[in-house]
A and B are shown apart, each in its own frame.
Chain A
Amino acid sequence: MQLKNYLHTVLVLLALFLAGIFLSQCTSPFNQIDYNTEVKPILNKNCISCHGGVKQSNGFSLLSEETALAKTDSGQPAIIPGNASESEFIRRLSLEDQEERMPLDSPPLSKHEIKILKKWVNQGAKWGLHWSYQTIKDNEGNLQLGSTSTVINNNSKDGKIDQFVAKKLKEISLQPNDQASKSELLRRVSLDLIGMPASTELQEQFLSGRINYEGLVDKLLVSPAFGEKWAALWLDIARYADTKGFEKDGIRNIWRYRDYVINAFNKDKPYDKFLIEQLAGDMLDSPTEEQLIATGFHRNTPTNDEGGTDNEEYRVKAVIDRVSTTWEGIMGTTMACVQCHGHPYDPFPHDNFYKSFAFFNNSRDADTSMDYPNLQFLDSLNQSKLDELKTWIASVDSQEKASELEYFVKTKQPVIYSIEVDKMINADLYDTKYLGFRKNGSARLPGLDLGMGSVLLMKTQTFIESGKLSFRLDSLNGAEFASIDLKDTKRRYELLEIPFGNLEGIRDVYMYYTNPKMKDSNSRGAQVDWFYFTEKFPGQDHTEFSEKRKLFDDLVLKNHENTLIMVENPDALRRKTHVFDRGNWLTLNEEVTSGVPEILTPLEKENATRLDFAYWIADEENPLTARTFVNRVWEQMFGRGIVLTVEDLGSQGQMPSHPDLLDYLAGKWMYEQEWSIKSLIRSIAVSETYRQSSKANSNSLEKDPYNIYLSRGPRVRLTAEQVRDQSLQISGLLSEKMHGPPVMPYQPEGIWKSPYSNDKWILSEGENRHRRAIYTMIKRTAVYPSFETFDMAQRQVCVSRRIRTNTPLQALVTLNDPAFLEASESLARRMLSDGGEKLEDQINYGYYLGMSKNIQAEKLEILVQLQRNTLNRLQEQSIEEDEINLLAMTTVANAIINLDEMLNN
């Protein structure tokens, strides 16, 4: 017995000794215990599911210092700082009694873990702020906060990245790998920066030594293809798609937002500005068209047109999605769970979600089928009409009035949508979208602020001649204060103007429709799309009045090309925000005002707006914003983030592999590079770490199997977009046309099969068939098949990280998808015509176009054999001689497109 105990002790000591050696970098039994790296992982793994943000069993929660040191249900605190032996928290860990011992129903903590916790309590149970919530400091003493000096396009490498990586590599006794060959590097950096192999000219310039590596990087960075590559990352976060997302999943016009993102990357728009424009561009002073288009970011939420949906429910869902996306996509924080309860692991109480919700709860969008509000783009004829109208209004009234009406023509805001009415009798929301009145029909506009204007404009159509609409205050039987006789608009919308007079206050307005000519009480007499409170149209006394008024009406009613934007509610239409009980939008708890989590940098402003929130997010003091994006850029270039879980830098996410490197890059990016994304990418691309060869040797494979320590260069499978773009590029088919409405390259029949939808996939003509992947139409419920197979995000919700898979269906795409066969044939033609006389040279040429190097003899021999085999087989079929050559070479070209080397960077 004693011997057993003795042996046990020896083993434990031995284990502790070994552990001590391994942990010597972060733990030493004689030093201060670090809460973040040593204590918190133990608590999160073993305790927090019962004693955290969701459950607080026995009144004990380890979520924050405050709750952990508070009295529990027993009346005593479980943790007595400085006194482990008196702390119930420690006592419970090593009891014999299974009923009492913690963690309940789970294996006990290891001795080592208990020791750490004991020590921590004895040292005062000091709490630490999780690493990612700490403001990024000048950790190397070489960053000057707020410094204006920039290093953009500075050719010298700063070497810091490599120092951090080397330090870490030393821990596992590895050396950095050799530098990659020129061709390997050329291919890697081209795919990473522009999403496809560089043009043949650029390849030659680099390989011949006319430009050096830094020169190559700079040329790639200024290529317009750069933005087309990097936009994909952001469009996943923004859940950008060209359809609305449910049932018929109708097409939505929001491609200008996609082009905004491409341009922002190409123009190297500073990231802070990029964020502010997207989150609240509409609230900037006199926003530009570009800034309004940018707000499409949060209009990419799905809308539900399905018959019988509750529009408010889907408006709320969109707002919830905006909160989650903002936190996850921009700040690497999973806030989604806080919708229903306090965060289980991170210090975000339940109401924090709704404090964020309050920032987004006052935009004008409301799940309308037209996706209001939209920014209108007038063609030149209509634009000149609008200019003429503006000039006239300015002359008869004022410049302000002219601007106001111009804004209305451009945005049709702020209006009250017909879906906001209630108390309908003999009236209904037809197709759950438009307010339709039947004979003697009535409806209410609830809680209207009559101070918004003296005139009501109604976008209305009638289905039958005559009819009258009467307006009554406070009840259906209330006093009529206005009315209008309706004429037959022949089912076309017109703008009706109803003078409301000088009424004041917040009142209910009832509408009552009568029409003696209507016989059928089941059919619609009139239908309304929206209501707009304004003042009388200016220039009533001028001879041109009715002409100008008609011009205004025409411009408002016409369906111009448009894109979805955010517009903030005017004060009169502001919504209040409540905490939803367990996340249920129909059960409201206490009211909350906008705000940010206490744990983070304060937002010291009352009634802070969405714009204030945007400024707070894009501030250098925000600890999450820069770290999150730097980590994403790193992931794009190395296939794995410094924090693997790019979506979660919180305590349940992975710890950073190189925390100092992440903070260094983030600090430098904000303070030195002034949020320039190109500068950030450049710093990484020119580092020795990035330039390592990706060839693994047995030593590095053993010690660093997943390349976490960066002991070699990245080797990552191409994205769905890159697979397409590469094949188009090397085959010479690629169109360089940028921007514009989405295109429809080849897609098999029968992919679009949404109910109630007449939308068709119509093969694009001409060069639109061969545009880069980023311009392909994305239908949410039926993503372009080859993209889906190569793991593209579905774009329904924010996707931080695409999980790469390796499947037989991918092989079938690149072997048999007609889009890839066309590219193969085109590549084969290039090989035959430009590759030289000899078969070997032709095959080598095709390989070279993608790989920027000559093919190894052994591989060449295999492909030569393939060509010969194919040729022989084809000769057995009755095919014309000149076609046989092309077909055989097409088989080889297709094999090249399918090579593992070609599918990896």
Chain B
Amino acid sequence: MKQDIHKLIAEHEFKQAELNTRRIFLRNAGLSLGSLALGSIFPACTSNSAKSSAEQLFTNLNPLSPKASHFAAKAKSVIYIHMAGAPSQFELFDLKPELNKLDGQECPPSLLDGKKFAFIRGVPKMLGSQAVFEKVGQSGALVSDNLPHFKKVVDEVSFIRGIHTDQFNHAPAQIMMHTGNPIIGRPSLGSWATYGLGSENQNLPGFVVLTSGGVNPDAGKQVWGSGFLPSVYQGVQCRSKGDPVLFLGNPECTSREMRKSAIDAINKVNSLTYDEFHDPETLSRISQYEMAFRMQTAVPEVMNINDEPEYIHEMYGTKAGEESFANNILLARKLVEKGVRFVQLYDWGWDSHGVGKSTALKIGFINKCRDTDKPVAALLLDLKQRGLLDETLVIWGGEFGRTPMQENRNGVEQVYTGRDHHPGAFTMWMAGGGIRKGGDYGETDEIGYDALDGGTSIHDLHATILNQLGFDHEKFTHEFQGRPFRLTDVSGSVIKEIIT
């Protein structure tokens, strides 16, 4: 059976090669057969201009097959940890002694004039850091006591301070952070990565999404959507409850053998159909059904953390069977180990407005830190001990930062302490995948309100991430609506200071 199909594919390849020879000849003769050269379904990725016909066919049949980047990549895969709701930089990485001095004083009008806030009204009070900081590691970075485990791995990361965005509401800011544009409908970072590079493991999705915190991020599934790229590049949400991938499990009474015999039957009939119509999509369908069958074992295998040794559970703080951030972090490691290109994590619950206990900087926020600190540190250590950190880019951050003022929702003082959304300056970190160890880039003013020297834009972050994956962000484009689109739109530059 399998041989038959491969024979068919080989035949098709041959025909395609003939066709391409003719097409190349036509093109070289100075003709533009634009639409002919465009490919049937998948518009060719511009990063792969010279493709052999066999490669072209393989790509047509399997758009997730591994592809070459523009230049040698530092990172093979990405783990992006997004703390949805936007964690406060002042209680984690950004100690501002001047701000602490101003604590409790009314905010000067110069900080308020012409500014828009989501919830702050009238004149709020300045709010000093609600955490204790310590100089740690060889780099001497200041890290708050909210992150005791992170302190131990701080030398692995590069901080980027003074990042700014132009969105101060969660959903659009998350869409901005993951697609480079607050307008819905652009491909997400993970989609671009899998579009450009394909996947190393054909039995697993190339772009996996894991969520924790009880709900999806504010922007919903569109933050892992493929926008105008084919939907095969959208993120696949893997879940801790029910089927790890939707509809992965066979129905009751259908054993693995029965599933195999059904897929074999379907594929046999389909290969007869191919003989009739010679539609290459039929061949593609045959291989997709084979892949689905392989996924049925490969995905539950990788999603199962029961078999991890006890010391790993200890290290990550994981408990099998739970729906937790820690479990997702461990899964992320397992997934990149298996060759998944892009693992996107969302953890919800970081919106520390101080309107209730769960959003209070001294209560809910500390709990969130406690739940996430140990697994994140474990991830870096574990990747390192497996020799994977060098080729895995780990990114940590939110969708914007928080104000150095205390929130006074509706112009009224609050019972709990919290901060409003702040797009002007916030901190993220990256590690592994060719990122400088112990790096610290960018600066904010003495109260952490604005970035100094222009700061870092989201496009700069994206340019840097793509660079680590081997792409020149200015040349990595997709033709849509008559123009080439890129993740970084019309700006962005690689942050050279944080890469090796």
A and B physically associate: yes
Q: List residues of A whose CB falls within 8 A of some B CB.
A: 15-16, 18-19, 22-23, 41, 110, 112-113, 245-247, 249, 302, 304, 306-310, 317, 328, 334, 336-337, 344-345, 424-426, 428, 430, 436, 438, 522, 644-645, 647-648, 650-655, 657, 694-698, 701-702, 705-706, 708, 715, 717, 748-750, 753-755, 780-783, 785-786, 788-789, 791, 794, 796-797, 803-813, 815-818, 821, 856, 858-859, 862-863, 865-866, 869-870, 873-874, 877, 879, 887, 891, 894-895, 898-901, 903-904
Say whether B232 faces chain A, with CB atoms less than 8 Å apart.
Answer: yes
Contact of A865 among B265, B348, B483 (CB under 8 A): B265
> Taking A336-B481, A755-B348 as contacts, is the C-beta distance between A894 and B265 under 8 angstroms?
no
Q: Can you give 16 contacting A-B residue pairs, CB < 8 Å?
A: A22-B26, A306-B171, A308-B420, A345-B483, A522-B412, A698-B278, A701-B278, A715-B277, A753-B216, A755-B217, A803-B228, A806-B281, A816-B247, A891-B258, A891-B262, A895-B266
> Taking A22-B31, A748-B243, A811-B288 as contacts, is the C-beta distance between A696 and B295 under 8 angstroms?
no
Chain B residue with Cβ nearest A897? B266
Contact of B34 among A654, A815, A879 (CB under 8 A): A654
Give CA–CA (A430, B225) in the complex, Å: 33
CB-CB under 8 A from B31, the residues of chain A are 19, 22-23
> Taking A873-B255, A879-B253 as contacts, is the C-beta distance between A863 and B241 under 8 angstroms?
no
> Taking A430-B410, A804-B41 as contacts, is the C-beta distance between A695 and B276 under 8 angstroms?
yes
Asked whether, in the complex, the Cβ of A753 is within 8 Å of the Cβ of B35, the reply is no
> Taking A794-B225, A873-B258 as contacts, is the C-beta distance between A308 and B168 under 8 angstroms?
yes
Say whether B218 faces chain A, with CB atoms less than 8 Å apart.
Answer: yes
Contact of A308 among B26, B117, B222, B291 (CB under 8 A): B117
CB-CB nearest 5 A-B residue pairs:
A781-B220, A308-B118, A652-B482, A808-B292, A811-B292
Contact of B246 among A334, A698, A754, A812 (CB under 8 A): A812
Contact of A702 among B19, B247, B421 (CB under 8 A): B19
Say whether B48 faces chain A, with CB atoms less than 8 Å apart.
Answer: no
Give CA–CA (A866, B221) in the complex, Å: 38
Asked whether, in the complex, the Cβ of B269 is within 8 Å of the Cβ of A812, the reply is no
Asked whether, in the complex, the Cβ of B32 is within 8 Å of the Cβ of A41, the reply is yes
CB-CB under 8 A from A310, the residues of chain B are 116
Asked whether, in the complex, the Cβ of B184 is within 8 Å of the Cβ of A797, the reply is yes
Best-surrounded residue of A657, A753, A786 (most CB of chain B within 10 A): A753
Asked whether, in the complex, the Cβ of A812 is within 8 Å of the Cβ of B278, the reply is no
> Which residues between 73 and 112 of chain B lie within 8 Å of chain A, taking CB atoms?
none
Best-surrounded residue of A113, A651, A715, A781 (most CB of chain B within 10 A): A781
Shortest beta-carbon distance from A55 to chain B in Å:
11
Shortest beta-carbon distance from B297 to chain A in Å:
13
Give CA–CA (A904, B279) in the complex, Å: 11
CB-CB under 8 A from B266, the residues of chain A are 895, 898-899
Chain A residue with Cβ nearest B12? A701
CB-CB under 8 A from B245, the residues of chain A are 809, 812
Say whether B46 faces chain A, with CB atoms less than 8 Å apart.
Answer: no
Besides A706-B40, A755-B216, A782-B216, 20 new A-B residue pairs in contact (Cβ under 8 A), listed by A number:
A307-B118, A308-B117, A648-B481, A655-B34, A695-B276, A696-B277, A698-B278, A701-B15, A702-B18, A706-B36, A753-B211, A781-B222, A789-B246, A791-B230, A797-B183, A804-B41, A805-B231, A812-B245, A816-B251, A874-B258
CB-CB under 8 A from B32, the residues of chain A are 41
Give CA–CA (A858, B4) in the complex, Å: 15
Asked whether, in the complex, the Cβ of A308 is within 8 Å of the Cβ of B119, the reply is yes
Say whether B387 faces chain A, with CB atoms less than 8 Å apart.
Answer: no
Contact of A657 among B35, B247, B251 (CB under 8 A): B35
Asked whether, in the complex, the Cβ of B218 is within 8 Å of the Cβ of A755, the reply is yes
Shortest beta-carbon distance from A776 to chain B in Å:
16
CB-CB under 8 A from B278, the residues of chain A are 695-698, 701
Say whether B50 faces chain A, with CB atoms less than 8 Å apart.
Answer: no
Best-surrounded residue of A438, A695, A808, A815 (most CB of chain B within 10 A): A808
> Which residues between 219 and 267 of chain B lie within 8 Å of chain A, taking CB atoms?
219-222, 225, 228-232, 236, 239, 241-243, 245-251, 253-255, 257-259, 261-263, 265-266
Say whether B411 faces chain A, with CB atoms less than 8 Å apart.
Answer: yes
Say whether B304 faces chain A, with CB atoms less than 8 Å apart.
Answer: no
Best-surrounded residue of B31, B116, B225, B285 (most CB of chain A within 10 A): B285
> Taking A304-B171, A781-B220 as contacts, is the C-beta distance between A899 and B269 under 8 angstroms?
yes
CB-CB under 8 A from A336, the residues of chain B are 481
CB-CB under 8 A from B334, the residues of chain A are none
Asked whether, in the complex, the Cβ of A334 is within 8 Å of the Cβ of B481, the reply is yes
CB-CB under 8 A from B413, the residues of chain A are 522
Contact of A644 among B35, B288, B412, B421 (CB under 8 A): B35
Give CA–CA (A856, B271) in the complex, Å: 13
Give CA–CA (A697, B36) in the complex, Å: 18
Asked whether, in the complex, the Cβ of B262 is within 8 Å of the Cβ of A812, the reply is no
Shortest beta-carbon distance from B487 to chain A in Å:
17
Say whether B320 faces chain A, with CB atoms less than 8 Å apart.
Answer: no
Contact of A705 among B19, B243, B292, B481 (CB under 8 A): B19
Give CA–CA (A430, B119) in the complex, Å: 10
Asked whether, in the complex, the Cβ of A812 is within 8 Å of the Cβ of B248, the reply is yes
Contact of B482 among A304, A653, A887, A894 (CB under 8 A): A653
Chain B residue with Cβ nearest A819? B247
Asked whether, in the complex, the Cβ of B29 is within 8 Å of the Cβ of A22, the reply is yes
Shortest beta-carbon distance from A18 to chain B in Å:
5
Asked whether, in the complex, the Cβ of B232 is within 8 Å of the Cβ of A783, the reply is no
Asked whether, in the complex, the Cβ of A695 is within 8 Å of the Cβ of B277, the reply is yes
CB-CB under 8 A from B309, the residues of chain A are none
Say whether B268 faces chain A, with CB atoms less than 8 Å apart.
Answer: yes
Say whether B63 faces chain A, with CB atoms less than 8 Å apart.
Answer: yes
Shortest beta-carbon distance from A693 to chain B in Å:
9
Give CA–CA (A698, B16) in the complex, Å: 11
